[in-house]
Amino acid sequence: MQPFGDTGGTYFQEINRRLSREERRQLGNEPRPGVPLCFLFWLAHNGALPPSPAIAASLSSFVVANLCGATPALDLTNAFAHGALEVETGDWHRGVIAKLGLEGIQWPAILPQGAILGEARLGGRPLPFFVPVGDYQCSQVGAGLQEGELSVNISTGSAVIQLATGLEWGDFQTRPWFDGRYVKTITHIPGGRALDALIRLLGELAEAQGVRLRDPWDYVLEQAGRLPSTLLRVNPAFYASAMGDQGAITNAREENLTVGHLFRAAFEGMADNYAACARRVCPAGDWRRLLFSGGVALKTPLLRRLICERLGPEHRLAPTDEDTLLGLLALALACSGRAESVLGAMASLST
């Protein structure tokens, strides 16, 4: 997001200027600055790349490769997070890489789901290491995402997700998933981070006087839950997100400048965002039920109720707020042959 030369724009804007709309679609339709492709472009433009060819390895593939004495590699779900994967072909997008002047970089091999990268001896025993997977996709495995469900994942950030029937394109991101499947999603919707910004605001005066507030959430949820509605409006886009970066608190009056009204309005603003994103991910609106996952969603009944009022009452909760760890268990069952597929492993864990 730093200035790019004398153009008046940023490095990220320069990347988007060089790429066509079709190339963006091929990359999964997720332009965002926080991916390795953008970091590498900055390094290349500033002469900061290594003098000899280096591999653009994710942290997980770097660690596993060093444990096993192997060359870094990954699977499709982890490769997608680099920002340079051509989703339809399942290979690195060489055209985009060339446009950004990154031809001299080596990119890790993309191996099939469940491939073993290498073996390390730990505690005197050989232990195989499988190629790294994407944490985002893994979390939805742990949540147990099923056909026809619309997943609303709310933690620090949040997302709306649905399994695709095939390789679908639209006003959403298209990401590879497991078992040759794909998901349609919109990520970086304001979530817990936006709520934390309001908590910091309310606690600033106390902190300045050396008063450390106890956990405020019981009081926040109690006060917000007492109100049937509020005229106060909160747009929680307090930082760059899928909903813009111009948050707002409006329609304020003396009587509604309270913690209860503020957070009731924030939850309603969040629910409006999820409803808008759901219509983009699934324009037909034909999901059969909602799936809530993530710590904020599981711990905030009022927010779930407001979302259900907009998207339908049928819903279920993920079995745990540690959905990524449960997803790793399902992947372990599939990769070790104890389940015939990731979907099969998910089904076995749900019984």
238 Cβ contact list (under 8 Å, min separation 6): 190, 193, 194, 197, 247
- Asked if residue 213 belongs to a domain, the reply is yes
Which range marks the domain in which residue 158 is found?
138-351
Task: Give me the residue label for tokens 């446009």.
Answer: 99
In a domain, 5, yes or no: no
pLDDT at 32: 84
DSSP 254: G
In this structure, are 235 and 101 located in the same domain? no
pLDDT digits (tens, 9 = 90+) for 190-236: 999 999 999 999 999 999 999 988 899 999 999 999 999 999 999 99
Q: Could you tell me if 308 and 205 lie in one domain? A: yes
Give the SS3 label for residue 22: helix
Q: What is the pLDDT of residue 222?
A: 97
Pair (213, 337) in one structural domain: yes
Q: State the DSSP H helix or E strand holding residue 25, giving kind and residue range, or none if neither.
A: helix 21-26
Residue range 253-262: mean pLDDT, rounded: 97
Same domain, 252 and 317: yes
pLDDT at 7: 83
Structure tokens at 262: 């503020």
Same domain as 250, residue 196: yes
Domain assignment of residue 344, yes or no: yes
Roughly what angle, to the nearest 10 degrees, separates helices 192-208 and 259-281? 160
108 and 175 assigned to the same domain: no
The total number of structural domains that make up the chain: 2
Is residue 1 in a domain? no
Six-digit token pair at 284? 């037909």
> Same domain, yes or no, for 151 and 232?
yes
Is residue 267 predicted with pLDDT exceeding 80? Answer: yes
Same domain flag for 147 and 108? no
Of the pLDDT bands very low, low, confident and very high (cuts 50, 70, 90), residue 287 is very high
pLDDT in tens, 156-199: 999 999 999 899 999 999 999 999 999 999 999 999 999 999 99
Compute the average pLDDT of residues 60-80.
94
Domain ends where: 99, 130, 161? Answer: 130
Same domain membership, residue 189 and residue 48: no
Looking at the chain, the whole-number percentage of residues with pLDDT higher than 70 is 100
Considering the domain architecture, whether residues 157 and 228 belong to the same structural domain is answered as yes
User: How many CA within 13 A on the CB side of residue 6?
Assistant: 0
Within-domain flag for 45: yes
Q: Which pLDDT score, from 0 to 100, does residue 282 have?
A: 96
Q: Does pLDDT of 240 surpass 90?
A: no
As a whole number, mean pLDDT of residues 112-121 equals: 94
Rounded Cα gap, residues 313 and 306, in angstroms: 10
Query: Which residues lie closer than 8 Å to 36 by C-beta, 6 or more apart?
Result: 56, 58, 81, 82, 83, 84
pLDDT at 33 over 90: no
Q: Is residue 108's pLDDT more than 80?
A: yes
Residue 345 to residue 153: CA distance in whole angstroms: 21
pLDDT score at 156: 93
CATH of the domain at 96: 3.30.420.40
Q: In the listed set 88, 104, 130, which residue is the last one of a domain according to the structure?
A: 130
Co-location of 228 and 109 in the same domain: no
pLDDT digits (tens, 9 = 90+) for 41-60: 999 999 999 888 889 998 99
pLDDT for 34 equals: 85
Task: Indicate if 148 and 114 belong to the same structural domain.
Answer: no
Q: State the DSSP H helix or E strand holding residue 194, giving kind and residue range, or none if neither.
A: helix 192-208
Does 329 map to a domain? yes
Q: Are the C-beta atoms of 39 and 100 separated by less than 8 Å?
A: no
Whether residue 286 is contained in a domain is answered as: yes
**pLDDT for residue 31:** 82
Q: Is residue 4 part of a domain?
A: no
Considering the entire predicted model, what is its pTM?
A: 0.92
Question: If you average pLDDT over residues 50-76, what whole number do you get?
Answer: 92
